Amino acid sequence: MTEFQPGILHEGSAHHIFLEFTVSGAPRFLPGRALAIAPVAGGEQVVAFGAGLLGCLRGVAPPPGAADFAAVVAGAGGYVAPATQRDLFVWLQGERRDELFMRALEWREALQGKAQLAAEEHGFLLRDSRDLTGFVDGSANPQEDARRTVAIIADGDHAGGSFVMAQRWLHDLAGFNALPVADQERVIGRTKTDSIELQGDAMPANSHVSRTDIKRGGEAVKIYRRSSPVGGVRDPGLYFLAFSADSNRFRWLLESMYGLADPSRRDRLLGYSKPISGSFFYAPPKAPMLAAFER
Ligand code: HEM
């Protein structure tokens, strides 16, 4: 398999910074040398591009399925997953917040005048990998080799590439915490302390797990999630980040959560958290990405 960007599978970092840049102009263009001085070689870093910018990267062929994020609007009730498509995504991971911050500043300086920083989020590992709702996030994620199978394109012209979905969610923690724990567990579909999946009649059809543990054409729709808690005490939430070898899976999962086919099964989690941004990116394999930056 062509080498993918190793940061995709690097797990357990204490700190994360997510940077989303936009590039002006039509067609959009970002000179490779603008990125040549940016620290692209480290393992704990992932760089990905919006569909509009992919075409300007020498040696990186845009894969079929690379597309901008399209908003999901679910009828009455104001359930919306907004599209705020950005052009360049940088995910920095590390054990030291200070060093990570300096790397983020380097990126910003390298892109000064060429790309605008449109969004910046600082994430952190919460206890044993919990979301700010207090539930473990990632229990049903693929493990070991299955992570690659799920997240990385295995063969063909785009082997080693990976499709990316990024959304900033804003939690209503007061609303969620006002629910008795047993009801919180019915919202998520797992127990809070031990993250054990609810079974049989105990599992509601509109729990988050029910809406995301889905099949399409008889096959399980699997993605590799790498989300992290973000925000301050005023705006706590989740930076939802996921990787997939197939770009369709993100849309299928969102449509299921938003109950597009069956509003009675809309994900109850949407009553306690809402996305305020949404982008799709493509993380090219490591070698062509580095080569594209050497111009
Ligand atoms: C506020 C936003 C979200 C929160 C707090 C959240 C949290 C969780 C939690 C606590 C679980 C159960 C434990 C686990 O397996 O990780 C879970 C499962 C899952 N979530 Fe989310 N999630 C959010 C948004 C999303 C979105 C936007 C998607 C996809 C578009 C998604 C896809 C999944 C999938 C595929 C599973 C595993 C289902 C299974 O196979 O059991 N989540 N999430």
How many C-beta atoms lie closer than 10 Å to residue 294's C-beta? Answer: 12
H-only helix segments in 171-266: 173-177, 181-188, 208-212, 248-257
Q: Give exposure, 67-86, as e/b (b: 16+ Cβ within 10 Å).
A: bebeebebeeeebbbeebbb
pLDDT tens by residue, 245-277: 999 999 999 999 999 999 999 999 999 999 999
H-only helix segments in 205-247: 208-212
Q: Quote the ligand 1 centre to 212 CA distance (angstroms).
A: 7
Residues 6 or more apart in contact with residue 45 via CB below 8 angstroms: 5, 7, 39, 90, 91, 92, 93, 103
More confident residue, 279 or 109: 279
pLDDT tens by residue, 40-74: 444 488 999 999 988 877 778 889 999 999 999 99
Mutation pick for ligand 1 pocket among 165, 212, 239 (CB with most ligand atoms within 8 Å): 212
Domain-by-domain residue ranges, the chain?
6-292
Q: Ligand 1: which residue has its CA nearest to atom 8?
A: 137
Q: How far from chain centre, in Å, is Cα 102?
A: 23
**Contact predicate 120/18, CB 8 Å:** yes
pLDDT of the residue at 268: 98
pLDDT of the residue at 75: 76
- pLDDT averaged over every residue in the chain: 92
pLDDT (mean) for 146-154: 98
CA 39-45-49 angle, 5° bins: 90
3-state secondary structure of 109: helix
pLDDT tier at 87, thresholds 50, 70, 90: very high
pLDDT tens by residue, 202-213: 999 999 999 999
The atom of ligand 1 lying closest to the CA of 140 is 15
The pLDDT > 90 percentage for the chain reads 79
Count of helices and strands (H, E) across the chain: 9, 14
pLDDT of the residue at 295: 46
Q: Tokens standing for 290?
A: 């580095």
The long-range contacts involving 182-188, CB below 8 angstroms and separated by at least 24 positions, are 184/133, 184/134, 184/135, 186/268, 187/268, 187/269, 187/271, 187/272, 188/133, 188/135, 188/269
Burial class (CB in 10 A: 0-12, 13-18, 19+), 19: buried
Catalytic positions = 137
More confident residue, 33 or 254: 254
Closest-CA residue to 91 (of 231, 243, 223): 243
Q: Tokens standing for 165?
A: 């979905």
pLDDT of the residue at 41: 47
pLDDT tens by residue, 164-204: 999 999 999 999 999 999 999 999 999 999 999 999 999 99
Residue 76 has pLDDT above 50, yes or no: yes
Q: Ligand 1: which residue has its CA nearest to atom 24?
A: 240
Q: Quote the ligand 1 centre to 140 CA distance (angstroms).
A: 9
Q: What is the pTM of this model?
A: 0.96
Q: Ligand 1: which residue has its CA nearest to atom 6?
A: 137
Quote the CA–CA distance of 200 and 295 in Å, as a whole number. 57
The atom of ligand 1 lying closest to the CA of 223 is 35
Ligand 1 pocket at CB < 6 A: 131, 133, 135-140, 167, 169, 188, 190, 195, 208-209, 212-213, 223, 225, 238, 240, 250, 253-254, 273
